[in-house]
Amino acid sequence: MDLLNTLVDKGLRRELPTREEALAVLATSDDDVLDVVAAAGKVRRHWFGRRVKLNYLVNLKSGLCPEDCSYCSQRLGSKAEILKYTWIKPDEASQAAAAGLAGGAKRVCLVASGRGPTDRDVDRVAGTIKAIKEQNEGVEVCACLGLLSDGQAERLREAGADAYNHNLNTSEATYGDITTTHTYADRVDTVNKAHAAGLSACSGLIAGMGESDEDLVDVVFSLRELDPDSVPVNFLIPMEGTPLAKEWHLTPQRCLRILAMVRFVCPDVEVRIAGGREVHLRTMQPLALNLANSIFLGDYLTSEGQAGRADLEMIADAGFEVEGAGEVTLPEHRASAAGGCGAHAGAGCGSHEDAGCGSHENGSVCGTAAPAPAAEPRTDLVALRHRGVGTDLAPNA
C-alpha cells in the first residue's frame, strides 16, 4: 500500500508525516489492521529493536485531588471507591519500588495526585528519590506531581530525578471540555519547565474520551513539537463514579491504529502503552508490542493491571525481550542530546491510568471501510486497586 510504504520511509528518516497521512492511518479498516501493525512495526524495530522497557508506578498520594479532570478517579467529586491516603513515607515508597524492580522494571514513576507540588512537597519527594536510589542501584526515577512552579523542576533534578511526566491528554481545542480547573497551556508550560531543567520530558495522551480523529492527530502533532523523550498512550478506563463512566467506544483494532499513528508521528521516541491496555486491547496486547517499546508492569494508580508474570510471559511469547538495566532505551542521537538522564532511557509516567480508545472509524487505506460497531462495555475488566501501596497486601509486580 502506497500510504504505508510512504510512512515507513518517513519513519526511518524521522520525517514528520502530513496530517492527512496520520488521519488516514486512523481511518484504515479492521481488514487492514495487520498491514498497519506490520508497517509501524518496521519503524519500531529500526529504532528500538525487539526490546520492551518495563516501568513501575508508585502512587505516593492517592485521591483527594482538587482538580476536575473528567477521566480521573482521583478528581474532585469522584465517587469511585478508590484507595485514598496522604503522602507515604520514603521507605514505604522504596519498598514498593524494589518490588517492581525485582519484577524486571528499570524505571520507577513516582506519582502524586493534586494540582501541583508545594515546595515542601518537592522536599518530600526529593527524600523519596534519595531513598529509592540509595537502596536500588542504577534505578531511574521519573516524577509526576502535576503543574510545576518556577525552580521546582531544577530542584527535582538536583535530588536525582531523571525524568518528569506531564501529559497533554487531548487536543487544545477540546481540553476545556475535559478539565476546567487548569488549561492546556498550563500543561505545555510544565513540560517546557522539565525540558529546561535538563529532565527527560515525558508527555502523552488519553484516547477514548469522545474525541475525533482530528483531535487525536492534533495532540500527537503537538507532542511531536514539544519533543518529549517518551509518549505514554493511555486508553480510557471508564470508571464508575467519574463523568466519563459511560464512554465505551473502543475496539482492540482501534487501539492498534492509534498506537501505529503515534509511532509514525514519533518514530524515534519511546512509545509506552499505559493505562487501559488490559481493558481495551485485551488478547491483542502482544500485537501492540510491535508498535510500542515500553509498558507498565503490574498495577496502575487506582486500578489493577495484568499480573506481572503474565506481562513477562506475553513479552517472551511475542518474541520480544525485556530491556536490561544496562541498556540504553533511546536511539543514540536522542540519548546524547538528552544528556545524563536521557542516556539512561528517556521514559516517564503517564499518570492517569483511567483511559480508553476512540471511535469514528470510516474509510481505509483503500478507502473502503464502513464504520465499525461500538464495542460492548467490559466493566468486568475494570478492577479498583486494593493492594500494594496504601494497603497491607503485597503489590502486583
Which residues are annotated binding-site positions for [4Fe-4S] cluster?
Answer: 65, 69, 72
Catalytic residue at 366?
no
Nearest-angstrom CA–CA distance, 76 and 345: 34
Catalytic residue at 72?
yes
Q: Which residues are annotated as a binding site for [2Fe-2S] cluster?
A: 109, 142, 202, 272
Q: Annotated catalytic residue: which of 44, 124, 272, 277?
A: 272
Residue 265 phi, psi (nearest 5): -80, -30
Q: Annotated catalytic residue: which of 142, 341, 349, 357?
A: 142
Q: Annotated catalytic residue: which of 44, 69, 255, 263?
A: 69
Residue 284 phi, psi (nearest 5): -90, 5
Catalytic residue at 202?
yes
DSSP H or E stretch at residue 155: helix 152-158
Q: Annotated catalytic residue: which of 44, 65, 107, 341?
A: 65
Q: Annotated catalytic residue: which of 109, 144, 255, 357?
A: 109
Nearest-angstrom CA–CA distance, 388 and 99: 10
Nearest-angstrom CA–CA distance, 348 and 211: 24
Residue 316 phi, psi (nearest 5): -65, -45
Q: Annotated catalytic residue: which of 144, 202, 341, 357?
A: 202
Catalytic residue at 263?
no
Catalytic residue at 65?
yes
Q: Which residues are annotated as a binding site?
A: 65, 69, 72, 109, 142, 202, 272
CA distances from 83 to 73, 182, 221 (A): 10, 24, 35
Nearest by Cα to 264 from 18, 2, 1: 18
Cell of 9: 520511509
Catalytic residues: 65, 69, 72, 109, 142, 202, 272
